């Protein structure tokens, strides 16, 4: 049966460098968990509202009714892409209604709507990806930070052993074991961050594909009904 680790004694015997490394890793782990919770909430809300928006979009026969429904779905990237395209289409229709030259000649017609959709998609993708790079950084750097703390702890332990001239297992095991705590802390911070980062990147790729597909579908509808 493994003996329980007295973490208080480990911290008391740790060097300044080891304590600094542990404090850094604890702070990074706390921040990464907070960020994981925040991004989970954002992506779950985006998924649920996007499902609702697509249901409204394909069931409704009027773009203005869809636009009204989309205004209440602030968490859905698809609703924001639609709103950007609809608002640009409304501007074009307004210019045409005022007796100005043809939409395709005056304002670029369908190309303006396409640019608005692309711009909105890019903006939504940037928002979805915001701050997840921090998780990737923690996942890749934390083990090395922990290893640095372990190496410095082992060096300090061997220096102390050299000064005392006593190199038995009893004197070596405790300080080296304490030094390995930094590596464990680095892995504790890195593993959840890596798992969350990969999961978020995968989910964001799905949103990117959905926005591209929706933009293509919306453009086809606009071409059929407004640019005959």
Q: pLDDT, tens digit, for every residue of 144-178?
A: 999 998 888 888 777 777 776 666 665 666 677 77
pLDDT of residue 79: 95
Burial class (CB in 10 A: 0-12, 13-18, 19+), 32: buried
Q: Higher confidence at residue 36 or residue 170?
A: 36
Q: Is the pLDDT of residue 1 over 50?
A: no
pLDDT of residue 132: 94
pLDDT of residue 80: 95
Where does the pLDDT of residue 188 fall: very low under 50, low under 70, confident under 90, or very high at 90 and above?
very high
pLDDT of residue 17: 80
Q: Higher confidence at residue 139 or residue 159?
A: 139
Average pLDDT across the chain, whole number: 84
pLDDT of residue 103: 44
Burial class (CB in 10 A: 0-12, 13-18, 19+), 186: buried
Lowest mean pLDDT among 68-82, 102-116, 182-196: 102-116
In sequence order, which residues have a C-beta less than 8 Å from that of residue 52 and are 6 or more positions away? 73, 76
């Amino acid at each position: 049966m493994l003996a329980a680790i007295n973490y208080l004694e480990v911290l008391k015997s740790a060097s300044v460098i080891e304590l600094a490394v542990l404090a850094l890793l604890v702070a990074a782990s706390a921040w990464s968990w907070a960020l994981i919770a925040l991004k989970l909430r954002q992506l779950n809300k985006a998924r649920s509202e996007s499902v609702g928006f697509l249901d409204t979009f394909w069931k409704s026969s009027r773009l203005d009714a869809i636009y009204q429904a989309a205004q209440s779905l602030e968490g859905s990237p698809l609703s924001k892409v639609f709103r950007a395209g609809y608002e640009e289409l409304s501007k074009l229709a307004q210019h045409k209604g005022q007796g100005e030259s043809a939409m395709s000649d005056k304002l670029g017609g369908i190309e303006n709507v396409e640019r608005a959709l692309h711009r909105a998609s890019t903006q939504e993708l940037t928002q979805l990806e915001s701050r997840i790079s921090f998780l990737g950084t923690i996942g890749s750097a934390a083990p090395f930070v922990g290893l640095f703390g372990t190496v410095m702890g082992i060096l300090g332990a061997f220096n102390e052993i050299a000064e005392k001239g006593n190199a038995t297992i009893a004197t070596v095991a405790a300080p080296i074991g304490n030094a390995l705590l930094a590596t464990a802390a680095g892995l504790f911070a890195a593993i959840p961050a890596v798992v969350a980062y990969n999961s978020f990147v995968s989910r964001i790729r799905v949103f990117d594909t959905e926005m591209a597909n929706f933009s293509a579908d919306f453009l086809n509808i606009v071409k059929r009904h407004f640019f005959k």
